[in-house]
Copies of this chain bind each other. A is one copy, B any other.
Amino acid sequence: MCQLLGMNANTPTDVMFSFTGLACRAEEHKDGFGIGFFEDKGVRLFVDHHSARQSPVAELVKGYPIHSENVIAHIRKATQGRVALENTHPFQRELWGRYWVFAHNGNLVDFHPRLHGAFRPVGDTDSERAFCWLMQELAKAHAGVPAIDELSCTLAELMPQLHRHGTFNMLLSNGQALWAHCSTHLHWVERRHPFGAARLRDEDLSVDFAHLTTPQDRVAVIATEPLTQDEAWTPFASGELRVFAQGRSQPVC
């Protein structure tokens, strides 16, 4: 199984602390990693088919404070598809003049959707097939970028069609919001004023967010397993879809 990390904030925020926590877990998840940062409508996507513990690209990400409102990261343990750059999450496509970034943890069985639209997989994973199908169905459901709430409703209709093929934990963002769906393992935490300190579970590293934030800041972090001690992570229910916007978790219709 792979591991996911997502971040959504109401102000551009760096994710170095949380990514360091994720990268600690890359010994087991050694078949590549990737991280996509939205900066307004633009995206930086760093991928490497080396482990996040050894990759020079991961070292860059751990040391270069990229400030972003939406981040999706993934460390991979291959289940379907060989270890190759084109099979490395997150995946990216453009729809309605917006970039979309997607990462998946799980395994879809007998999932061969009819892809008759403009989105085709480049690699050979079930994950990229699921992403192309999602983009195709969104393109059919709306004529242009809809409001976040409308997108959430459409995604709520689509998720069960993927979930029934197997394990489908996923993160998706278009730079305006971040959607998270859980089949088996996904947790989230909201950080807001008054900010406290947190310590990584897997490495001797702690940070006091009070020194790095203003009272208005709100940051939500989503991860396969809680990354920190001393914070109240909430588990997702199986089949639950949540949308994160402006650092706040909102209900999905």
**A contact set with B: CB distance below 8 Å:** 39-49, 56-57, 60, 63-64, 84-88, 92-99, 117-123, 139
Contacts and interface: CB of A to CB of B under 8 A. Distances in A.
A46 B43 contact: no
Contact of A57 (B39, B60, B117, B123): B60
17 contacts: A40-B86, A41-B85, A42-B49, A42-B85, A42-B122, A42-B123, A43-B85, A45-B45, A46-B46, A56-B60, A56-B63, A57-B64, A86-B99, A94-B120, A95-B120, A118-B118, A118-B139
A118 B139 CA distance: 9
Ranked nearest first, the 3 interchain pairs of A and B with the lowest CB-CB distance are A42-B85, A118-B118, A42-B86
Given A41-B123, A56-B60, A94-B119, 12 more contacts: A39-B85, A41-B86, A41-B122, A42-B84, A42-B122, A60-B60, A94-B120, A95-B120, A98-B122, A117-B118, A118-B118, A118-B139
Given A42-B86, A84-B40, A122 B93 contact: no
Contact of A94 (B45, B57, B93): B93
B118 A99 contact: no
A56 B59 CA distance: 11
Contacts of A49: 42
Nearest to A55: B64
A177 B78 CA distance: 29
Nearest to A117: B118
Contacts of A93: 94
B122 A97 contact: yes
A40 B83 CA distance: 12
B118 A44 contact: no
A43 B87 CA distance: 10
A46 to B, nearest CB: 7
A128 to B, nearest CB: 10
A246 to B, nearest CB: 20
Given A60-B56, A64-B57, A44 B41 contact: no
Contacts of A95: 120
B85 A97 contact: no
Contacts of A41: 84-86, 122-123
